[in-house]
Amino acid sequence: MDATDTTCGRQCDRPNRHKKGKSSFWMQDPDLVFGGLDLQRGDCFLDLGSGPGDYSIRASRLIGDTGRAYALDKNQDAIVDLRDKVVSEGLKNIKAEVCDISGPLPVKDSCVDICFISTVLHSLNLADVESTLFSEIGRVLKPEGRLAIIECKKEDQPCGPPIDMRISAEELERTITKHGFRKLSLCDLGYNYLIQFRKIPEELTDLLKQKDASIVLHPVGIIRSKIEKPFLVAGEEGLKMQGDLKDAVVKIHEMPGEISNIIIYEGLDGILDGIEEYSHLVILYWAHKVPEEGRSLTRVHPMGREDIPEKGIFCTCSPARPNPVLMTVVHLKGRKGNVLEVLGLDAVDGSPVIDIKPYVKDFFPQEDVHIPEWMQRLQEEVNKGKSPNKTQS
């Protein structure tokens, strides 16, 4: 923790608390923290907002004489004290410097194995400093380097900052993944949590920034259905069921008997010729009701169910996706010119149609198909018409 942080006025009484500066080192089992960091001899460890330097000193012993530890803090007294401690303990692989970590870091490019930040971010105005901070961290990290962060859980506790200053693991993940990082792991430390990230390869981030890397999709039609709004709403806080879950289950059971229309735009002459020979179609459409913040989600509680642990978006059928392309299989009842009449279409009215393919059963696996227990449970609840337990996301 940054030694100048004055936000953590509430403190837990522990027998071996540090007398100078504030540190989160005593709040959790150091063996659990450093077990998660998995430092190796010869590694380079960067401690941002190092405070009294407890983590830097522990790291220096693990990385050995061939390793290097940098301890940076803007509080000069903390750095002076740490330098004295380094000398008294005969440690030769720690470099302690006064530095405002929200600005340029005095560290070379691509030299750091672990960039470590413990209970510092909640005391910063991330909206103002995140761009520079995470850009600098990305610069100094090796290609396979990791960013490891300890923060206070967002819950009321007898010590630490007030709850309105705390950053949940989900909030932190959403912030950091915007800056070219992907989450690796999350570890419960008791009062706090340890979350780790790795840089996305530069060649991929550079490609995504290129203008010609964009993919332009032109809708081929529009969906007309009786569904006026989506069952699930995606936002910054995740997924939330819109309305009563029982009503949603009833509507799901009504879908197979509801006729919807897929209107193909004029000018695509001949694109539907022969489609009447198929009984079922695969419809790809754009979930146009998903807001921009919903598209930045990487993990959600499936169907907004908090009794089910968060899963990665690509492990769910959630409409909240980086590219909200959804797929459904429908029963083709008939065709009238450029209009397809179908059954079982669960798309919101007005959804743009991206593509239509014939459903060919043999193209899909028929045996040895496995799904997780939680997905099986959701399917059984919907199929039986049983409303899941009510939860709020």
Within this chain, do residues 30 and 147 fall inside the same structural domain, yes or no?
A: yes
Short-list 198, 146, 194, CA closest to 36: 194
Q: Computed from CA positions of residues 41, 99, 104, 50, in that sequence, does the dihedral angle turn out positive or negative?
A: positive
Average pLDDT along the chain: 85
Within this chain, do residues 176 and 253 fall inside the same structural domain, yes or no?
A: no
Within this chain, do residues 246 and 176 fall inside the same structural domain, yes or no?
A: no
Could you tell me what percent of the chain has a pLDDT over 70?
85
Contact criterion met (CB below 8 Å) for 2 and 75? yes
Q: What is the mean pLDDT of residues 198-218?
A: 69
Q: What is the mean pLDDT of residues 141-163?
A: 92
Within this chain, do residues 295 and 367 fall inside the same structural domain, yes or no?
A: yes
Taking CA atoms, 295 is separated from 23, 290, 375, in Å, by 37, 7, 22
CATH number at residue 62: 3.40.50.150
**Is the predicted pLDDT of residue 2 greater than 80, yes or no?**
no
Looking at 153, 178, 209, which one is the last position of a domain?
209
Within this chain, do residues 201 and 233 fall inside the same structural domain, yes or no?
A: no
Query: How many structural domains comprise the chain?
Result: 2
**pLDDT digit string, tens, across residues 323-356:** 999 999 999 999 999 999 999 898 999 999 999 9
Within this chain, do residues 324 and 197 fall inside the same structural domain, yes or no?
A: no
User: Rounded to two decimals, what is the model's pTM?
Assistant: 0.54
Within this chain, do residues 186 and 228 fall inside the same structural domain, yes or no?
A: no
Residue 254's pLDDT is what?
A: 66
CATH number at residue 285: 2.40.30.70
Within this chain, do residues 131 and 165 fall inside the same structural domain, yes or no?
A: yes
What is the residue range of 363's domain?
Answer: 221-383
Among 1-5, 14-18, 217-221, 364-368, which stretch is predicted with the lowest mean pLDDT?
Answer: 14-18
Within this chain, do residues 117 and 229 fall inside the same structural domain, yes or no?
A: no
Could you tell me what percent of the chain has a pLDDT over 90?
57
Looking at 179, 209, 239, which one is the last position of a domain?
209
Q: CA-CA distance, 58 to 65, in Å (whole number)?
A: 13
